């Protein structure tokens, strides 16, 4: 093979392989600026009246990727548990994500919260859900926290990663990664804001159900769109459909359980009746972040109207503003997390913080997580972070 580069009186020839290589030039100033192509690299051509070079030239080899990790395909089997293990769970805590003053995850405080959940009877946690502020995380943070939870606690408690998204593409990728790092099940929201048709809902959920056990999450107050029973009943026939977290009330829950669909209540203030009167399997709870032992009693020890009544003021207080504002404030007052908020969340005002102190007193400090005396905290004690 011969390569030619010419301009005016300049001619450079390179004979590839073991053949003669030469360069003949009548315009050295021009050739000094020539950059030889990679194909003739190693020829070591020098521009002069007559140059003869003899050098072996080897064809470049294609780049090799020694550790090539292609994206996993949806049909691969990578979950570590079965749907049967998920449908039995009664108390699932939507775990809070605590922060350091610079906005990064406070994993030491997070691990402490996890230990308190396990020791008080929680059977599973939702990682990076609404309560855990998954919507304020990058996907890298999200998957890292799921992986951390699995590695540290996955042998003791079920880890359900909130890998849902209003983008089907993102939901697929995040769910693949979540199962790759070992989560036991996924939580999937319906596409919010942009919304879609009923057929679109089915197609969206079917795209992720092939990967492993999944819980569908219906919360129209946040998504702006109800997932109707026809969609859930169709999905219930799918192999990896574990059940639904339903926030539309106990009438809807009873409608599902009468047809054999597994349901977790998404409303703490209704979960007692949902469990003992409407056939719900259990609850995915915010309140159990604060009083996991009492929530365990509520789900495992039969009907208890007295305990339900005792907890209702706390449950109502927790949702006086959009979740997780009150929970973040409460955990800060209990001294189990730093009073750090990722914006747009801000702490409850002083009057509400005083109400929480009274609620703790009425229920009993010994039932709440942590060991410090509950404090009111000053407004200046809270750190608000917009860039992290």
Q: Which residues are catalytic?
A: 217, 245
Give the integer Cα–Cα distance in Å for 4 and 296.
81
Q: Is 142 helix (H, G, I), strand (E, B) or coil?
A: helix
The pair of three-digit structure tokens given for residue 270, joined into one six-digit string: 């209704």
CA distance 247 to 264: 9
Phi-psi region of 370 (alpha: psi -120 to 50; beta: other; left: phi over 0): left
Q: How does DSSP classify residue 105?
A: B
The residues that bridge with 187 in the sheet, in sequence order, are 162, 215
Q: Which residues pair with 244 in a beta bridge?
A: 216, 263
**300-309, Cβ contacts within 8 angstroms, sequence gap of 24 or more:** 300/90, 300/91, 300/121, 302/276, 303/272, 303/276, 304/272, 305/272, 307/272, 308/272, 308/273
Which tokens is 78 given? 């990578």
In the chain, DSSP assigns E strands to 2-7, 10-15, 21-24, 51-53, 91-94, 124-127, 158-162, 185-189, 214-218, 241-246, 263-265, 282-285, 340-342, 383-385
């Amino acid at each position: 093979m011969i390569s030619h580069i010419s301009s005016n009186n300049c001619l450079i020839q390179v004979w590839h392989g073991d053949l003669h290589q030469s360069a003949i030039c009548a315009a050295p100033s021009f050739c000094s600026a020539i950059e030889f192509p990679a194909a003739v690299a190693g020829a070591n051509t020098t521009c002069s009246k007559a140059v003869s070079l003899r050098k072996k030239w080897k064809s470049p080899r294609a780049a090799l990727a020694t550790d090539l990790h292609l994206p996993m395909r949806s049909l691969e089997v990578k979950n570590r548990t079965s749907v049967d293990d998920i449908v039995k769970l009664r108390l699932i805590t939507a775990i809070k994500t605590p922060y350091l003053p610079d906005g990064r995850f406070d994993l030491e405080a997070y691990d402490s919260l996890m230990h308190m959940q396990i020791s008080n009877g929680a059977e599973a946690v939702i990682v990076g859900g609404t309560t855990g502020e998954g919507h304020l995380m990058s996907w890298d943070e999200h998957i890292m926290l799921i992986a951390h939870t699995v590695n540290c606690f996955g042998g003791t408690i079920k880890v359900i990663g909130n890998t849902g998204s209003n983008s089907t593409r993102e939901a697929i990728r995040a769910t693949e990664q979540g199962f790759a790092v070992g989560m036991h099940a996924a939580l999937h929201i319906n596409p919010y804001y942009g919304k879609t048709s009923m057929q679109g809902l089915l197609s969206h959920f079917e795209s992720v159900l092939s990967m492993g056990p999944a819980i569908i999450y219906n919360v129209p107050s946040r998504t702006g769109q109800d997932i109707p029973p026809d969609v859930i009943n169709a999905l219930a026939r799918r192999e990896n459909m574990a059940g639904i977290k339903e926030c539309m009330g106990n009438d809807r829950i009873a409608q599902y359980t009468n047809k054999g669909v597994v349901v977790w209540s998404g409303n703490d203030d209704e979960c007692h009746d949902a469990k003992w009167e409407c056939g719900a399997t259990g609850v995915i709870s915010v309140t159990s972040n604060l009083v996991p032992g009492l929530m365990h009693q509520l789900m495992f020890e039969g009907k208890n109207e007295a305990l339900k009544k005792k907890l209702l003021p706390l449950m109502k207080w927790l949702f006086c503003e959009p979740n997780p504002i009150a929970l973040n404030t409460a955990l800060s007052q209990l001294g189990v997390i730093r009073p750090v908020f990722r914006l747009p969340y801000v702490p409850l005002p002083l009057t509400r913080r005083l109400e929480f102190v009274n609620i703790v007193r009425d229920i009993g400090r010994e039932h709440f997580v942590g060991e410090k005396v509950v404090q009111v905290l000053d407004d200046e004690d809270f750190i608000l972070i917009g860039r992290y």
